[in-house]
Amino acid sequence: MIHIIHGSDTYRSRQVLGELINGAYGGAGADNIHRQAQRVEIFDADERPVHELAGLLQGGSLFDDGVGETMVVRRLLGSAELDAYVAYFEQLAEHGLSQEVFIYIDDDLQSIGRRKSARQAVRDAAKRLIGIGTQHHVAALRDVERPKWLIAQVETQFRTALQPAAAALLVRTSTDSWRLMTQLHKLAALSGFSVITPRLVQEHGEPIAAAGVSGAVGAGGTTERSIFSLLDAVANNKKSQALAEMHMQFMRDPASEFYILTMFLYQFRLMLSVRDAVDRGYDEVRMKKAMGLHPFVLKKQLSFAKRFSGDQLRSLFTRLIELNDRLKFSGISPRIQLEQFVLEL
């Protein structure tokens, strides 16, 4: 069966993808997590030809050992073979498919189909994809829905309480779910994973003045891909590449210093959690259950975390929290302070 997941809110659309994968394996129990780790294949269409995907799906198995059952196809709209991919998916949908194939689009297909700035081939592909398989369209939250969603996310992900007044303050800083959740990663840690109060948001959250630069994603998810390219470079300790990515982000969004910092805090807190789990002897199944990460995300974080010791990551995370306070009250340019952090990795 083919599933197409798309929407302008890419944070929530990725959540939907994870829920669908969990559902395909009967939930998020330990046995099913282990099956997911073995049987989910990530396929980046912008880097691999369509005949390679066809070869993996042919014969009812994704892998030579017959274990694989589920394929997640990403970055489709950036493929040089976009038309061929869409034609192939149309063919699969017509004839049926035993495996689960999830096509993840980091944008809203309905919007792309009407977007004059998008290439004609991309607009045409978007319109055709809407007619394929089972559609999972993740619409943006309405303003009145966002505080309640944040409260639920904090309780589920961090076992932390978010006071309603604090949630109301947060949604005034941004309408972008990524920015809001990265702020909450930091605020939950600062609260000691207890209660996030309005005062904590006022002292350590993004300023309300940043609401006009919410980090909206354009065609093809440019802003999102940019920030994650930056995080990958930092996590891999590639200082020159990280600085170049940071400068590109500043050009796209001149007021993005607090966004970059909260993303750094999110990344290093996650790396520290994974590093601590490795040091305690946890296997991947136990890590996945404890942290709620999907297998393909966990594998990536493991590769990052192993580049640093636990003490190094604790020190870097502490420096980021201190940097957060300095950005608000120091006379030194926020950009210079962020660049200094990268150079001192």
d(CA 183, CA 178): 9
Bridge partners, residue 137, by sequence = 6
Low-confidence ranges of the chain (pLDDT < 70): 24-39, 59-69, 208-227, 254-255, 294, 296, 328-331
Which residues contact residue 125 at a Cβ distance below 8 angstroms, ignoring those fewer than 6 apart? 76, 77, 82, 83, 86
71: three-class secondary structure by DSSP: strand
Work out the burial of residue 58: count CB atoms within 10 Å of its CB; fewer than 13 is exposed, 13-18 middle, 19 or more buried. exposed
Contact 285/279 with Cβ under 8 angstroms? no
Residue 260's CB is within 10 A of a number of other CB atoms, namely: 23
Question: 78: which DSSP letter?
Answer: G
Please report the pLDDT score of residue 155 as a whole number. Answer: 93
- For position 221, what pLDDT does the model report? 43
Q: What is the pLDDT of residue 185?
A: 82
Tell me the C-alpha to C-alpha distance, in Å, between residue 129 and each of 52, 86, 98, 218, 286.
20, 7, 20, 19, 37
The pLDDT of residue 117 is 81
pLDDT of residue 148: 94
State how far the alpha carbon of 79 is from the alpha carbons of 15, 50, 225, 290, 296, in Å: 24, 9, 15, 36, 21
Return the structure tokens found at 140: 């943006």
Read off the tokens for 51: 């005949």
Distances (CA, A) of 157 to 180, 198, 224: 14, 20, 21
Tokens 């017959």 belong to 66
Rounded distance between C-alpha atoms, residue 179 and residue 175, angstroms: 8
- Residue ranges and CATH numbers for the domains of the chain are 2-137 (3.40.50.300), 146-212 (1.10.8), 222-343 (1.20.272.10)
β-strands 40-44, 70-74 pairing: parallel
Q: What size, in residues, is the chain? A: 345
Instruction: Supply the pLDDT for residue 30.
Output: 41
* pLDDT of res. 4: 96
* Residue 194 identity (one-letter amino acid): S
Amino acid type, 163 = Q
Q: Where are the beta strands (DSSP E) in the chain?
A: 2-6, 40-44, 70-74, 100-104, 134-137, 161-162, 195-196
Q: Enter the tokens of residue 185.
A: 């990663």
Q: Cα dihedral sign for 84, 85, 86, 87?
A: positive
- The pTM (predicted TM-score) of the whole model is 0.63
Q: Could you tell me the two tokens for 34?
A: 């282990």
